[in-house]
Structure 1
C-alpha cells in the first residue's frame, strides 16, 4: 500500500463526494424547508444524464449537451413540482414516500420507452480525456480533476448564495422555522419552486459529470439516491454545510473502503476472504459511519437550528 495509491483514492473519494454533494444539496433544502421526502430526486438525476447524453450526441459537443440537458431537466423539475409535488406538501410522510416512489417507477418506464433498456454512451470532452501529471510518477485523469473543480465551484457558489444574499436568508429562515418565515412575509411556495429548480439542475449537472464515468442506464438514480439520503442524515437536514461535509465523508469512506478493505483482507486473511468478505464489508462502511454519527449527534453534524 503506497502513498501514490492513497493519494489516488483520496482524489477519487473527493470527486465522488462532490458529485454526491450536488445531489444532496437540493434534497436537503427541500426536506429541511418543506418537510418533503422526495424519492423522485434520483429519477431527475437519471433523466438529466439521458438528456445530456442525447443532446451531446446530436450536437457533437459535450458542452452543448451539458447546458441543454441541465436547462431541460430544470424545466421538467419545475413542471413536476407545480403539477404533482405541491399536492403532497400537506400530506404525511407515508403519502409523500408512496407518491414520489410512484413517480420514480413511472420515470424508469418512461426512460425505457424513449431510450430503450440498453445503456446510452456518453463521451467525455476530448480536451479532458488525457492524464495530468500531478507528481513525479503520478498522473491523474484530467476529467476527474475537472469534476473536482466543478464540485468545489458549485459548493462555493451555494455557500455565497445561502450565507450572503437575501434569498439565502429566506432559505435559512425557512429551514429553521417554516411557519415563522411565512409569517414574516416569505413566499415559501415560490421559494420552494425556485429551490426545486436549482436542485434539479444540480442533479442534471451530477448526471452529466458522472455520465462518461458510469453507465447512463435505467434505474441509475436509485442507488445514488440512497447515498444522498445518507449524506443529508449525516450532515444534518436543511444544512448546506452539513451536506458538503457529509458528502465528502461518504465519498472518501466509500472509495477508500472499496479499494483498501479487500487489500487489507487479502493481507490478513488470504485471497479467498478478500474476494468474498472484502467487498461485503466495504459496502456497509458508510452505514456504519452514519450509525456512529447519529449515536453521537442524533440531528447530524450541522443541523438547521430551529
Structure 2
C-alpha cells in the first residue's frame, strides 16, 4: 500500500501539470510524457557529472522547466487555436522527434540512475516492518510538492489566475489576466513537476527512450477520474490509480493462486490488475461524468 501511495504521488506530479494545461488552455499535449523522460535523462546526466543526487535533481528540474517553456513559446503556442485533432497529431510528432533527439544524444541503451547512497537501504517504520528509505523519501517529496502546488493555486495571485482560467478562460482573459505569460509559466511548472517525477522514478523503473508514453496513459486516466482542470482531483485520482494498480499487482496473483495454478496466477494477475484501473475509471465516469472534482462546476 505504501508503494501505491508512492506511485500515486509521482503520478500526481505528472497529472497536475497535464490537467492544468488541458483545463486552462484546452490543449491536449501528448508530449507531456516526453518532458518526464527528459527530466529523467537530465537527472542521470547531472548526477553523473556532479556526483551529488540532489544537485543533479535541482539542475534537471531547472533545465526541464526551461525546455518546457521553450517548447510552449516556439511550437505549442501555435496550436492553441487549432482543434484537438491537430493538437494530438502535432504533439504526437513531438514525441517521435524528442525520442530521436534523446537517442542521438544519449544513445539507445538505458542510463543508470541510482538512489542516493544514504537512502539505498531499508528503514524500520514500525516494529518488524522495514521499508525502502528511498521510496519513503519519494512519498515525503511528493507530499511537500503537492502542498506547495496547492498553496500556489489557492493562495497566490497566479493561482487565482489559474483557477479563473480553468473555470472560464475567455472571461478571465476579458478581465485582464495575462494569458500568454501565464501559459508559458504554466508549461514551465508542469515540465518541472515532470522532471521531479522522472528523477525519482528513474532509479526504480528505468531511464530509457520511450519511458514517457506508458506513464502518460496513466496520467490521462488520472485527470479523467479527478476532473479536468482540478489539482485536487488530480491528487485524489492519482492516489486511487496508484493504490489500485499496485495493490492489484500485489494481491491478485495471491488470490488467483488459491483457485488456479501458480503459473496461471502469475500471468493472469498483472493483466487483471491493469484492467482494474480502467474499470475504476468507468465506474467513476458512470456516476460522475465530469470526474470527481471538475473545475468547471
Q: TM-score, normalised by structure 2?
A: 0.98
In structure 2, the residue matched to 1:225 is 216
Equivalent position to 1:83, from 74, 82, 95: 74
1:293 aligns to 2:284 (yes or no) = yes
| Structure 2 residue matching 1:269: 3-state secondary structure | coil
1:23 aligns to 2:14 (yes or no) = yes
CA offset at residue 280 of structure 1? Answer: 1.4
| Structure 1 residue matching 2:131: 3-state secondary structure | strand
CA offset at residue 199 of structure 1? Answer: 0.4
CA offset at residue 305 of structure 1? Answer: 2.2
1:1-150, aligned counterparts within 5 Å?
Answer: 10-150=1-141
CA offset at residue 268 of structure 1? Answer: 2.1
Deviations 1:76-129 (A, max 9, x none): 111100000000000000000000000000111111111111100011111111
**Distance in 1 between the 2:257 and 2:205 partners?**
27
In structure 1, the residue matched to 2:198 is 207
After TM superposition, which residue ranges in structure 1, 4 or more long, deviate above 6 angstroms? none
Q: TM-score, normalised by structure 1?
A: 0.96
List runs of 5+ in structure 2 lacking aligned partners.
none
| Structure 2 residue matching 1:132: 3-state secondary structure | strand
List runs of 5+ in structure 1 lacking aligned partners.
1-9
**Distance in 2 between the 1:91 and 1:77 partners?**
20
Alpha-carbon RMSD: 0.8
Equivalent position to 1:276, from 257, 267, 273: 267
CA offset at residue 166 of structure 1? Answer: 1.3
In structure 1, the residue matched to 2:162 is 171
Stretch of structure 1 that moved more, 161-170 or 173-182: 161-170
CA offset at residue 272 of structure 1? Answer: 3.4
| Structure 2 residue matching 1:237: 3-state secondary structure | coil
